[in-house]
């Protein structure tokens, strides 16, 4: 197994998109937390440390032609692929650097408004974490924003031994990483089948292992088979970032900022009695058995007056990002299943399906206004938390042109690359996920490639690809054609109109 400074180096990571890395999303989190967001229109700078395949950076660069993006990763294949995509899409505002954290001080980099780390902090050595903190201290502008995600406690406590088993078993196998992963999963599966006391006393460990073993080997390599792997308490990360003058602002996972969704009334009352913000976050993690955190910090972020905060929230506009037909009114939150009131949510969704709306604009509609401002605001927060809506803007002509070219570049690669699952929306300034068939249908639409059934089914035959219906892979070609026909109708009725409203096409 090849490692660079303890990190897997001989297997590429998956093509992953994270909306939490986006400057517009981080700005929105700040605004909702009562902190003045950064001004983006006049220009800004972003740095992503450990960018992987660089898909997130390229999406955001296409949505923000006014920004400058720098992304850094030590994996040469990652950087080469990211540069290739950016070059083909003619993105001139992004630079990809092939460098390790030891090399950061040698790079000719500007100061940054945003510095982000996704899937890095728990997977590098203490020495590299110190380098990262020093880099933030030197390169983050006053008032700048930092995003850092990490595995956290107490959620990992019952299942962390699984990772130790996997990496210990891998060391017994060959030097080939994929073979090591396969061998370790088989061996741990044998231990589980023997119902050892660890598994019988920790049912969640068995469930966790079963889910883990279904993941791609590329994901598992980077998640579990590095030399360094440390889950943190929130207080540990706050302490380590303190030398960079950072203050915790909130979670980039929006639902994690909404106590009314996560905790019972009794739990909320307890939390409200705690003045220490670090202790409060720790108790929240215990209350929901948190396993992964997405923390946002600022370097001197300015607190908004209550009146300014309320005005900012009420003027923020939102767009529906999933087809109206796919929005369900029964959702699961940490405190249990919630049934959303259709009398409120249906008119909100209908209004957002027609056009982007702010809270103020929604309250002009009688069937929403009768519920009052607070309930309407909570409805928007719930829809944000479940991913049905996103903050929206009227995109500039430059952003429209940039994202059009980027999306066409992705679609051109679709026939040969099933992994590039995101297109850019300049309206929500982030990625919109489309499966392979949907991307092929969009490509067919944009290139006038004739009958979509013939176009997509031909691609399916070439790639020996079968569709999934009701959780099962369809076996016969006739079943696949029937399901494909249904998906084509759904795409043209529901998805294509949505993509046009989001200016994806």
Burial class (CB in 10 A: 0-12, 13-18, 19+), 21: buried
Q: What is the pLDDT at residue 66?
A: 97
pLDDT for 82 equals 95
Q: What percent of the residues of the chain are helix, what percent strand, and what percent coil, each to the nearest 5?
A: 50, 15, 30
Q: What is the pTM of this model?
A: 0.92
**pLDDT per residue as tens digits for the range 9-48:** 555 566 789 999 999 999 999 999 999 999 999 999 999 9
Q: For the chain, which domains are there?
A: 3-154+231-298 (3.40.50.150), 160-224 (no CATH), 322-387 (no CATH), 405-423+436-501 (no CATH)
Instruction: For residue 107, give Cα distances in angstroms to 95, 110, 135.
Output: 12, 9, 11
Q: What's residue 1's pLDDT?
A: 46
Report the length, in residues, of the chain. Answer: 505
In 110-255, beta strands by DSSP E: 112-117, 140-151, 247-251
Percent of the chain with pLDDT over 90: 78
Q: Give 194-247 pLDDT, tens digit per residue.
A: 989 999 999 999 999 999 888 888 888 878 888 889 999 999 999 999 999 999
Compute the chain's Rg from CA coordinates. Answer: 23
Pairing between strand 94-98 and 67-73? parallel
Q: Residue 367: is its pLDDT beyond 70?
A: yes
Question: What single string gives the DSSP state of each residue in 102-115?
Answer: GGGGGS----EEEE
């Amino acid at each position: 197994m090849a490692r660079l400074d303890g990190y897997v180096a001989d297997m590429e990571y998956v093509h992953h998109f994270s909306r939490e890395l986006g400057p517009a999303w981080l700005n929105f989190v700040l605004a909702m937390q009562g902190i003045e967001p950064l001004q983006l229109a006049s220009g800004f700078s972003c740095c992503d440390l450990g960018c992987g395949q660089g898909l997130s950076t390229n999406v955001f660069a296409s949505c923000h032609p006014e920004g400058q993006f720098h992304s850094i990763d030590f994996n040469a294949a990652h950087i080469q692929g990211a540069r290739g995509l950016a070059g083909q899409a003619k993105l001139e505002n992004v630079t990809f650097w092939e460098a390790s954290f030891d090399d950061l001080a040698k790079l000719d980099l500007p100061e940054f408004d945003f510095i982000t780390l996704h899937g890095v902090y728990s997977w590098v050595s203490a020495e590299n974490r110190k380098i990262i903190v020093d880099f933030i201290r030197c390169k983050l502008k006053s008032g700048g924003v930092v995003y850092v995600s990490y595995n956290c406690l107490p959620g990992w406590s019952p299942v962390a031994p699984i990772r130790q088993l996997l990496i210990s078993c891998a060391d017994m196998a060959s030097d080939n990483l994929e073979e090591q992963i396969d061998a370790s999963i088989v061996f741990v599966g044998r231990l589980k089948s023997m119902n050892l006391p660890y598994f019988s006393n920790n049912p969640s460990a068995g469930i966790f292992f079963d889910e883990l073993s279904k993941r791609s080997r590329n994901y598992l390599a980077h998640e579990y088979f590095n030399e360094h792997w440390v889950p943190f308490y929130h207080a540990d990360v706050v302490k380590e970032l303190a030398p960079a003058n950072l203050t915790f602002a909130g979670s980039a996972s929006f639902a994690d900022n909404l106590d009314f969704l996560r905790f019972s009334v009794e739990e909320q009352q307890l939390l409200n009695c705690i003045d220490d913000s670090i202790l409060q976050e720790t108790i929240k993690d215990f209350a929901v058995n948190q396993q992964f955190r997405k923390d946002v910090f600022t370097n001197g972020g300015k607190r908004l007056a209550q009146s300014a905060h309320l005005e900012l929230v009420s003027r923020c506009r939102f767009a529906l990002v999933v087809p109206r037909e796919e929005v369900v009114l029964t959702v699961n939150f940490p405190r249990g299943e919630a049934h959303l009131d259709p009398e409120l949510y249906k008119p909100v969704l209908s209004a957002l399906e027609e056009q982007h709306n702010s809270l103020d604009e929604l309250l002009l509609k009688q069937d929403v206004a009768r519920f009052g401002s607070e309930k309407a605001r909570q409805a928007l927060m719930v829809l944000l938390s479940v991913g049905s809506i996103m903050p929206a803007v009227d995109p500039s002509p430059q952003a429209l042109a940039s994202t059009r070219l980027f999306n066409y570049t992705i679609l051109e690669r679709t026939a040969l690359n099933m992994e590039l699952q995101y297109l850019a929306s300049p309206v929500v300034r982030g990625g919109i996920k489309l499966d392979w068939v949907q991307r092929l249908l969009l490509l067919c639409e944009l290139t006038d490639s004739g009958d979509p059934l013939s176009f997509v089914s031909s691609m399916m035959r070439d790639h020996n690809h079968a569709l999934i219906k009701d959780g099962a892979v369809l076996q016969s070609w006739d079943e696949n054609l029937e399901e494909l026909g249904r998906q084509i109708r759904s795409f043209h009725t529901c998805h294509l109109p949505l993509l046009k409203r989001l200016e994806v096409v």
